[in-house]
Amino acid sequence: MKLKRSSGVLLHPTSLPGKFGIGSLGKDAFDFVDFLVCSKQKLWQVLPMGPTSYGDSPYQSFSSFAGNPLLIDLDELVKQNLLSKSDLETKEVFDDGKVDYGRIITFKTALYKKAYNNFKKLSSEIEKAKFEIFCEKHKKWLEEYSLFMALKNHFCGKPWYEWEYDIKIRTFPALKEYREKLSDEINYHRFIQFEFFRQWYKLKSYANINNIKIIGDIPIFVALDSCDVWASPEIFHLDEDRRPTKVAGVPPDYFSATGQLWGNPLYNWDVLKAQNYKWWIERLNATNELVDMIRIDHFRGFAAYWAIPYGNKDAIHGTWEKGPGEDLFIAIRKELGTLPIIAEDLGFVTPDVEKLRDDFDFPGMKIIQFGFDSSEGSPYIPHLFPVNCVAYTGTHDNDTIVGWYEKASKQDKEYVKEYLNSDCKDVAWDLLRLTWASTAVMVIVPLQDVLSLGSEARMNVPGIACGNWQWRYKKGQLSADIKQKLRKLTGIYKR
């Protein structure tokens, strides 16, 4: 994959400003594209875009194929005459700097239901035809997902493995019965996906027209309580009662002394191989249609993954098991051609991971913060970066630069100052400059670092179940001064 020297910003759409408590695909998203254009950026990286489950993590989604309903812009529904302006008048007061998911789900769902009922009654034949075309195009995943969500509502939000036995194990009579019984609820979820995809493609088109490429994100694993596992149990390691026998995570590392117990069911790679990796090919193809480049999270899991016996309380005790390796990517390339993939190769990286990454010419990732947490020989120090990599000041899992620096040891702070030849009074921009100046072909920085924000703006703390994924920036923070500084930096270092 031939990449051009470029730079951009990491910002999930939930972190956009807006009046209804969460970012959306509406005007503020278009304004953010304008900000990128004005500051001479070429890349916008987002987190996974699927519907989030309990805990609100984009990396634990109800579906690998569907879009997050909470990102649907309400004002756009007004423009389509599916809602009225008065419908959006509310006494609810939302925090403009933090997402309160529980309140927002209740508030938005009521309006989505109203929009759906209006769509059924008031939409033109042309709009209904567009809806049917969408449903037919995405039928492979949309039918299962819509039924899954309707069933989840029917069973009061319970995970699918706690549903009635016949529908849990997907007997034909049960599937037929519920498809008829829940037909309107199923159609509602089709409609919601229709609106999400319509708004997303409109935004993506605007970004692309303005020479902005969008980098998407695929988690290697899927949530246990997901349509993916319910609809395709044979491709996961499950017992006869459809419970996982072993789950995903990582051993103790930089982020946690007890490792990270993610709890995702692990793939049965033998079954996937026998199916010529059809599910993975369809997943990558679907994501590739939504974005311009794909970052695959936890890439090392394709070489080997940490398998933890189901029921363990932490991730200390597990075993490394062999992944599909090059076999998977040969199959993907054969079906889809060469895809623009970024390999998230952080953590415990072994030679087989590096070989798999390099054999397919995938750029890996380098995190500037990691370069100053050890010796001067760290592979994350910029003068050692290979050209074919993507450099970050940090990711969604890291503290912000300001927060990280404030917590750093005296020794590490002195090393940063010496390396940068700076007093680090503006440490975020000192490290932005260092990242832009590096040999890395692409650089991406979280917006929090562009805004020089502290730990209060952190997106996620790995291993902590609550309080993550909530940060939003506020209107007015993308000042003319910020644009000018970013534009100047990009010009100096030819990005």
Q: Could you tell me which residues come within 8 angstroms of residue 494 by beta carbon, excluding any fewer than 6 positions away?
A: 5
Q: Are 391 and 397 in contact (CB under 8 A)?
A: no
The position carrying tokens 């075993």 is: 319
Strands 213-219 and 43-45: parallel
Q: How far is CA 447 from CA 294, 360, 381, 444, in A?
A: 19, 30, 21, 9
Q: Identify each DSSP E strand in 169-259 by its residue range.
A: 213-219, 246-250
- Return d(Cα 46, Cα 151) in angstroms, integer: 29
Q: How far is CA 31 from CA 15, 24, 243, 269, in A?
A: 13, 11, 45, 43
Phi/psi of residue 51, each to 5°? -70, 125
Amino acid in position 418: E
- Return d(Cα 25, Cα 14) in angstroms, integer: 9
* Residues recognised as catalytic: 297, 344, 397
Q: What is the dihedral of CA 183, 186, 188, 192, to 10 degrees?
A: -160
What are the structure tokens assigned to 285, written together? 């193809």
Amino acid in position 473: Y
Q: Are 310 and 364 in contact (CB under 8 A)?
A: no
Q: Are 221 and 264 in contact (CB under 8 A)?
A: yes
Q: How far is CA 153 from CA 53, 181, 231, 494, in A?
A: 13, 13, 17, 52
Tell me which long-range contacts 459-464 makes (C-beta under 8 A, separation of at least 24): 459/12, 459/15, 459/396, 459/397, 460/57, 460/396, 460/397, 462/255, 462/256, 462/260, 462/397, 463/255, 463/256, 463/258, 463/260
Start-to-end CA distance of the chain, whole Å, equals 18
The helix/strand/coil state of 23 is coil
